[in-house]
Amino acid sequence: MRSQLRKLGLPNLEEFEESGKLELWDCYTCQLGRKSTEKYALESLKVADLSIWWSKMQVSGRPPDPSMLRTFDDFSILSRFNDDKSWVELVLTRLVPVSFLRKETGIRG
């Protein structure tokens, strides 16, 4: 991911990460049954686990930030670990509304 962002013209990724302006989340390693070495990573893609994790994030999260951009490139991977109704419900009731509530811009695929 970092090398791809550098190719797009973001050479100071470490500076952005250290300042909290950029968070790169590892949502892949848990699919392999391994623990990630990244600072930000999910431990499970099961809806029950994600729902609890998301609730904790919102309580302990940062204040609203209109300059924040959140992108999620592919929610469909959740169908590998959950039935469709469960993961669509999670996205619609937890993940999508957060951008509005936190005054952020969200792009989801």
Whole-model pTM? 0.74
Looking at the structure, tell me whether residues 59 and 37 fall in a common domain.
no
Looking at the structure, tell me whether residues 37 and 49 fall in a common domain.
no
Residue 74's contacts (CB-CB under 8 Å, 6 or more residues apart) are 109
Looking at the structure, tell me whether residues 14 and 35 fall in a common domain.
yes
Looking at the structure, tell me whether residues 48 and 93 fall in a common domain.
yes
Burial of 29 (C-beta count, 10 Å sphere; 0-12/13-18/19+): middle
**Domain range spanning residue 21?**
1-43
Looking at the structure, tell me whether residues 29 and 77 fall in a common domain.
no
Looking at the structure, tell me whether residues 36 and 51 fall in a common domain.
no
Number of domain units in the chain: 2
Looking at the structure, tell me whether residues 34 and 60 fall in a common domain.
no
Q: How many CB atoms neighbour CB 100 within 10 A?
A: 9
Looking at the structure, tell me whether residues 18 and 70 fall in a common domain.
no
pLDDT in tens, the chain (109 residues): 788 888 999 888 889 888 877 888 888 899 999 999 999 899 999 999 998 888 887 766 677 788 877 777 777 888 889 999 998 998 888 888 877 788 888 777 7
